Amino acid sequence: MMKEFIFVLLCFTASTSARGKLVIDNDAGGDDAMAIFLALLYEKYVDGPQVVALTTGNGNTDEDNVCRNNQRILKVAQRQDVPIYRGSKSSLVHTPYAHYYYGMDGLGDIDEEVTDLVPAQEQSAVDSLIRLSKKYEGELTVVTIGTVTNVALAIKLDPGFLNRLAHLYVGAGHIHSEKYPRREFNAYMDVEAYHIVMQNATPDKVSVFPFSQTKEFLNFTREWRENVLGGIDTDIIKALNKYESVSIPKNVAWTSLDPSVLAAVINPDLVEEYKYSKNDIIMCGDNRAINTNEFVAQDKANVRIVYKMNSEEYKKFLLDVFSAELQTKNS
């Protein structure tokens, strides 16, 4: 429980609430859960983008668990009206070992008994992405916070898919450097799919949020996560504390890509700097899954990079959104 928490008055404005339609393509680890909750709460309390679907894929855990985790998340959020569409159970070519950072089931292995879960839809994730891009042409934003397998398949099946989107945000990869020399998990889990997306990307349609930039600018203490954010007295935060119970003790810091990606999407005022890039990934040899990146002028780029977020404003944003329920009850 938190030692001390000072409620911050909600100060959202219409300018930060770009009402549109949102699909969250995820692999349902603890970080995905926080991102999904963030989007749903922002929709409810700030009239943010409407979450019209969750699509699932293999990643933090196997896709069967991912689907069930999406069902669990929506039940906790009291948003079982949001449809779930099941996606890829493996990568396009090679499916790496997942490492199970958030536990074998992806949500902390808490062994809770959950009933009355709403079944997933019969239509596949890929078909639903294509259908929704037509239904909400020019309005739909797709956010990937796992592998990009489903999106890559949608692009291959329907070359007009990307052009119909308002935007695609890809939470994956690193800006490769001596400081961040390793492979990033989401990109590593389906290298070929990442390459397909980058080969078809244009900066007016595709933004990449690399994990290196979360690590660089949104790196908070474990104490803050456990006692400040984790001390907010709501069912959602209590659930998140359980979902991250396996991952949090592994580090002295708390750095989570997925909620930072969703925050940049729903509240772009938090972004201090974008850059334009020729971005791709190495597919062969010892450097497989290492990202390539060259900052260039917009007319020579294939993607826009979310390069820097405002750290203090992001922390405040998380506290505001996750305490919005309490603020409403107390007002």
- pLDDT band of residue 2 (cuts 50, 70, 90) is very low
Q: What is the mean pLDDT of the chain?
A: 94
User: Angle at the Cα of 309 (from 274 to 320), degrees rounded to 5?
Assistant: 135
Q: Which two tokens stand for residue 130?
A: 């294509």
* 37-87: pLDDT as tens digits: 999 999 999 999 999 999 999 999 999 999 999 999 999 999 999 999 999
CB of 180 closer than 8 Å to CB of 215: yes
**Distant-in-sequence contacts of 44-48, Cβ < 8 A, 24+ apart:** 44/324, 45/10, 45/321, 45/324, 45/325, 45/328, 46/10, 46/12, 46/16, 46/17, 46/321, 46/324, 47/14, 47/17, 47/19, 48/17, 48/18, 48/19, 48/266
Q: Taking the model in full, what pTM does it have?
A: 0.94
* 84-119: pLDDT as tens digits: 999 999 999 999 999 999 999 999 999 888 899 999
* 218-241: pLDDT as tens digits: 999 999 999 999 999 999 999 999
pLDDT for position 12: 43
Mean pLDDT throughout 178-193? 96
The alpha carbons of the chain give a radius of gyration, in whole angstroms, of: 18
pLDDT above 90 covers a percentage of the chain that reads 92
pLDDT for position 76: 97
**Number of other residues whose CB lies within 10 A of the CB of residue 57:** 30
Q: Could you give the CA distance from residue 71 to residue 54 in angstroms, rounded to a whole number?
A: 10
Comparing C-alpha atoms, which of 146, 56, 60, 148 is closest to residue 107?
Answer: 60
pLDDT for position 329: 80
The CATH fold of domain 14-330: Inosine-uridine Nucleoside N-ribohydrolase; Chain A (3.90.245)
